[in-house]
Structure 1
Amino acid sequence: MLAVTAHDHVPSGPVAVLANPTAGRGRHAGLLPAVLDRLAAAGRPVELLAAATPAQAEAACHAAVTGGAGALVAVGGDGTVHRALQAVAGTEVPFGPVPAGTGNDFAVETGFPADPLAAAEVIATALREGRSRPVDLARMTNPDGGDRWYGAVLAAGFDAIVNERANRMRRPRGPRRYDLAILVELARLRPRRYVLRLDGEEHRVDAVLVAVGNCASYGGGMRICPAADPTDGLLDVVVGGEFDRRTLIRVKPRIYRGTHVDHPLVRSYRARTVEVAAEGITTYADGERSLDLPVRISAVPAAVRLLR
């Protein structure tokens, strides 16, 4: 699926590294020195970027790329990758994700080992050999001038609403807050009216789940768009229709296997350009709070070069 042509040139310059020590609830924090050692074995200077907030992380990545970095590496989960992609998308600067988060969907779906040190070895070898491989990204815009890239999946339905609820809650701390947000939003569950335009063709649907995938999975292995391929120049759209609470609870575990798409209330589509409109929904891309609907999403072929 990822058998794409390797590129035999990696720009000279230091390897900039964005690391999130709190990724994966800190379980890989002690691995960073070993990751940096493996990257340094490629024979390039390695520069650790300083950032205390997500906004600072994104700004640091942009500064590194415009300042002459030869490559950018993100050590963390999908959120860390998401910040880094904003800087490398559409440039010649190659990128390497070291999966060290709770959700590592983009790294795993694009062929990197799930083990952080093994992934760092793959990246170092690609750097040493001057090799990178192109994959697609999704680019989304909204009428307010918002413009974001993402690598894995955009959630614009129940999962986005739950994330928004959890982010507004102050307690409980940790994963229990997300569990409570699910219970609250399940109690309020109702289909919403969406207007989708897929390569210009309009679909009006009442749905509780809408996902637009460049890759197949989100949320740490939930295969919401199981047929998505980040090298085919297309986006996969999965719509879960008028589910009631009981049916949604029953179907949701099937998302890990990708078999939810066989349910009669689920529809799947494929398009180069996807427009999604609905009232009162903030989208989540790569698990990160993103743009309010409506949004326009385009598949951008070979938008980033990966060090693998």
Structure 2
Amino acid sequence: MGLNAALAVHPASGRGAAARIAEAVAARLRPAVDRLDILTAGSVEESRALMRSAHAEGLDALIVLGGDGAAHQGVQFCADHGVALGLVPSGTGNDFARALGVPADPRAATDVLAKALQAGRRRSVDLGRLGETWFATVLCAGFDAAVNARANAMRWPAGPRRYDLAILAELAAFRPRPIVLHTDDGVLELEATLVAAGNTPYYGGGVPICPAADPEDGLFDVTVIGTPGRARLLRMLPHLRTGEHVGRPTVHTFRTRTLRIEAPGWPVYADGEDQGGAPAEATCVPSALTVVS
């Protein structure tokens, strides 16, 4: 049997970038596979239906052309159906692709992916599990989740700059709260501004909130920012971009396989997608996803 692949295209990703380059990406992939179906979807429901239809016809690999939202949907499908996932980044954040070492340029990423498909290269990576939802990058609660919600609602600007502006806007409204964290090693109670559990390091378009997170070690890297106050938090923000925040006195880090966050009223996001509010309980599932790499 030959290699049956599908290219899932999310036309709105990257302000239409995915739609503009879809044919060029498909042309680069076709020589590497025996069959390539194009799945173009305008909604999550349509995307899932197309993926299920492709799976019924013997799908071996799903290539997602889009941003982190599109990657998140691909992760759900591939983890549940045992299909290998490939990524061609064309969104504004591309944090999962970044963590996997995928080239930022879509055409370069496609060429690397085509070679990996031809060579049969695969590797297994961990995923987080939150209820019935898989996540590949970071689960966040508190200030950073509120920032994520605000950034998602903003139409301008594009890219990481939008996240930076959302941070500044949210600083005026957010208040630290008492939280309880249940971990593998016990219970931690403290006042905090945010909690981030990273399967991979990045969120928010390249912010290494959990800089040492490794998607092949079976553990979350957890970053908790306590109560530095607005002024100190503002001064800390540039260090988030470099990962140097983990050395600050009000920042706590640890590793755990399971994490329950009890913080009533706090918003919770995973892979940049709204997951409702706390309490939230997540588990790191080793080797839950196969990626073409």
TM-score scaled to structure 2, two decimals?
Answer: 0.91
Q: Could you tell me how far 1:242 is from its partner in structure 2? A: 0.6
- 2:155 maps to 1:173: yes
Q: Aligned to 2:190, which of 188, 193, 205?
A: 205
- 2:89 maps to 1:99: yes
CA RMSD, 1 decimal: 2.1
Q: Which residue in 2 is equivalent to 1:144?
A: none
Q: Could you tell me how far 1:162 is from its partner in structure 2? A: 2.4
Question: Is the CA contact (8 Å cut-off) linking 1:191 and 1:243 kept in structure 2?
Answer: no
Q: Deviations over 1:249-300 (max 9, x none)?
A: 1101111110000110000010111111211223111112224321211111
Q: Aligned to 2:255, which of 267, 270, 287?
A: 270
Question: Is the CA contact (8 Å cut-off) linking 1:91 and 1:304 kept in structure 2?
Answer: no
- 2:268 maps to 1:283: yes
In structure 2, C-alpha distance between the alignment counterparts of 1:154 and 1:59, rounded to whole Å: 26
Q: Which residue in 1 is equivalent to 2:21?
A: 31
Q: Deviations over 1:57-101 (max 9, x none)?
A: 234334433552111111111111001100111543111011111
In structure 2, C-alpha distance between the alignment counterparts of 1:64 and 1:280, rounded to whole Å: 40
Q: Aligned to 1:297, which of 260, 272, 282?
A: 282
In structure 2, C-alpha distance between the alignment counterparts of 1:247 and 1:160, rounded to whole Å: 19
Q: Aligned to 2:6, which of 5, 16, 23?
A: 16
Q: Deviations over 1:114-159 (max 9, x none)?
A: 2211211222222222221111111112xxxxx1101111121212
| 1:1-308 mapped onto 2 (5 Å cutoff) | 12=2, 14-141=4-131, 147-165=132-150, 173-175=155-157, 181-199=166-184, 201-308=186-293
Q: Which residue in 2 is equivalent to 1:4?
A: none
Question: Is the CA contact (8 Å cut-off) linking 2:71 and 2:87 kept in structure 1?
Answer: yes
In structure 2, C-alpha distance between the alignment counterparts of 1:28 and 1:17, rounded to whole Å: 11
Larger CA deviation: 257-266 vs 99-108 = 99-108
Question: Is the CA contact (8 Å cut-off) linking 2:219 and 2:255 kept in structure 1?
Answer: yes
In structure 1, C-alpha distance between the alignment counterparts of 2:99 and 2:51, rounded to whole Å: 22
Larger CA deviation: 116-125 vs 32-41 = 116-125
Q: Could you tell me how far 1:178 is from its partner in structure 2? A: 6.1
Query: What is the total number of aligned residue pairs between the two structures?
Result: 290
1:41 counterpart SS class:
helix
Question: Is the CA contact (8 Å cut-off) linking 2:10 and 2:40 kept in structure 1?
Answer: no
Q: Does the C-alpha gap of structure 1 residues 276 and 225 become closer, same or farther in structure 2, counting only changes over 3 Å? A: same
Question: Is the CA contact (8 Å cut-off) linking 1:113 and 1:119 kept in structure 2?
Answer: yes
Q: Does the C-alpha gap of structure 1 residues 250 and 289 become closer, same or farther in structure 2, counting only changes over 3 Å? A: same
TM-score scaled to structure 1, two decimals?
Answer: 0.87
Larger CA deviation: 19-28 vs 216-225 = 19-28
Amino acid across the alignment from 2:126: D
Q: Could you tell me how far 1:103 is from its partner in structure 2? A: 0.7
